[in-house]
Amino acid sequence: MFKITGKIKVKKNTEQITDKFKKREFVITDGSGNYPQDIQFQLTQERVDLLDVVKNDDEIEVSFFVNGRMWTNPQGEDKYFNSLDAQRIKVLNNEQAPGTKQEFAPGVDEDNDLPF
């Protein structure tokens, strides 16, 4: 699992892709290098709610997996796609709202970060 820190730039609405699959995308700005990078992540299934308590411009740490897949288009060409699947979101701001948790990761066992 990888980790990155950045500020929330965009929070999209949850999309119901099929009856059994939903996703939510968000973008963080990583300012650690010479040039700021806007990086898009996705949350799936029960994790889509992780963004509900996060505000734009919040400084967060995202724990994520890199997933890749191949698709063959109608012309027979193989195309490759990557996704950054967020597993945990940790708010790093000091001004956390009273009564809210700092780290959000439903259904994740801290001692075992494997997704299965």
Report domain 2-95's class.
mainly beta
pTM: 0.76
Query: How far is residue 54's CA from residue 74's CA, in Å, rounded to a whole number?
Result: 40
Query: How far is residue 113's CA from residue 116's CA, in Å, rounded to a whole number?
Result: 9
pLDDT of residue 104: 54
pLDDT higher than threshold 50 for residue 65: yes
Which tokens belong to 102?
């700092």
Domain extents in the chain: 2-95
Give residue-wise pLDDT tens across range 70-88: 999 999 999 999 999 999 9
> What's the Rg (C-alpha) of the chain?
16
Mean pLDDT of all residues belonging to the chain: 86
As to burial, measured by CB atoms within 10 angstroms (0-12 exposed, 13-18 middle, 19+ buried), residue 86 is buried
